[in-house]
């Protein structure tokens, strides 16, 4: 009988353009015990994004109503739009024993860390600010003013990096995914992640 593990939240924090969504997809395809937390947002649909898959898209009034009703475990204004994580989804998935990946901004991440939920936080940093700018420009989804805003926000986010557990420099995508895999493996071996160690150790083979 395998030793069971206590589930946790894997929080990926990165300036936008940091390659987070690709990394999330890789982790989800390789580790079946992870589920993705789909956030709510008031920002507009981008490219081929789908409602209920990439985000739950809603207008500001609906968002603020939910926020008021305590639907979110955390919510934040990011680049002038609201984003929030469902409290119910997190509680349900943890109760089922699933680990959850969250792709959220620095402030949301800090709020979750302070909420006392079991988490592991990973900051994904592009190697330099020039690389970040090029990635945002190449993405082609933001106008120049938005890119400038995202660059300024990135500078503010980097200032808070010391609050998080791990730093992965996202130069090469495969290398970054491989670093995250190592984090996941190491986290699985933490004593505090195991359930009922003694009970398992002393169990009778014949029971
Ligand atoms: P984007 O609009 O580029 O998808 O995301 C913009 C920023 O909002 C990213 O840093 C992303 O991680 C963050 N974000 C996405 N969902 C949430 C959420 O539920 N809560 C918070 N606090 N930030 C989020």
- Residue bearing the CA closest to ligand 1, atom 7: 105
84 Cβ closer than 6 Å to some ligand 1 atom: yes
Q: Is residue 201 part of a domain?
A: no
β-sheet bridge partners, residue 120:
10
Distance 108 CA to ligand 1 centre (A): 8
How confident is the model at residue 1, as a pLDDT? 64
**pLDDT of amino acid 47:** 87
Question: How far is the centre of ligand 1, averaged over its atoms, from the C-alpha of 2 (Å)?
Answer: 36
Residue 203: inside a domain: no
49, 103, 146, 170, best to mutate for ligand 1 pocket (most atoms within 8 Å of CB): 103
**DSSP β-bridge partners for residue 76:** 83
**Averaged pLDDT, 20-45:** 92
Q: What is the pLDDT of residue 189?
A: 95
Q: Is 99 in the pocket of ligand 1 (CB under 6 A)?
A: no
Q: Compute the CA torsion angle 18, 45, 101, 139 (nearest 10 deg).
A: -20
Instruction: Tell whether 29 is covered by a domain.
Output: yes
Domain count, the chain: 1
Do the domain assignments include residue 17? yes
User: pLDDT (tens digit, 9 = 90+) per residue, 48-74?
Assistant: 899 999 999 999 999 999 999 999 999
Confidence (pLDDT) at 101: 97
Tell me: pLDDT of 165 over 90: yes
- Pocket flag, ligand 1, residue 43 (CB < 6 Å): yes
Q: Is the pLDDT of residue 19 over 80?
A: no
- Ligand 1 near 74 CB (within 6 A): yes
Residue nearest to atom 2 of ligand 1 (CA): 43
Q: Check residues 104 and 21 and name the one with the higher pLDDT.
A: 104
- Provide the residue range defining the domain that includes 42: 9-193
Residue 2 lies in a domain: no
In a domain, residue 132? The reply is yes
CATH of residue 137: 3.40.50.300
Nearest CA residue ID for atom 23, ligand 1? 104
Q: Is 85 in the pocket of ligand 1 (CB under 6 A)?
A: yes
**Ligand 1: which atom is nearest the Cα of residue 55?**
16
Instruction: Give domain status of residue 206, yes or no.
Output: no
Assess if residue 109 is contained within a domain: yes
């Amino acid at each position: 009988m395998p030793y069971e593990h206590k589930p946790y939240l894997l929080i990926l924090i990165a300036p936008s353009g940091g390659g987070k969504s690709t990394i999330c997809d890789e982790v989800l395809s390789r580790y079946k015990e992870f589920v993705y937390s789909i956030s709510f947002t008031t920002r507009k649909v981008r490219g081929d994004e789908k409602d209920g898959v990439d985000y739950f898209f809603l207008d500001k009034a609906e968002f603020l109503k939910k926020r008021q009703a305590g639907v979110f475990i955390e919510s934040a204004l990011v680049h002038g739009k609201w984003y929030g994580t469902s409290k119910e989804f997190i509680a349900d998935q943890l109760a089922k024993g699933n680990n959850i990946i969250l792709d959220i901004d620095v402030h949301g991440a800090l709020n979750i860390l302070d909420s006392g939920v079991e988490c592991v936080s990973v900051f994904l940093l592009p190697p330099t600010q020039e690389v970040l700018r090029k990635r945002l420009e190449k993405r082609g989804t933001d106008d120049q003013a938005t890119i400038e805003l995202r660059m300024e926000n990135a500078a503010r986010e980097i200032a808070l990096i010391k609050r998080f557990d791990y730093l992965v420099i996202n130069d090469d995508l495969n290398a970054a995914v491989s670093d995250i895999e190592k984090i996941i493996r190491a986290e699985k071996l933490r004593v505090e992640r195991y359930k009922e160690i003694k009970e398992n150790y002393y169990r009778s083979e014949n029971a």
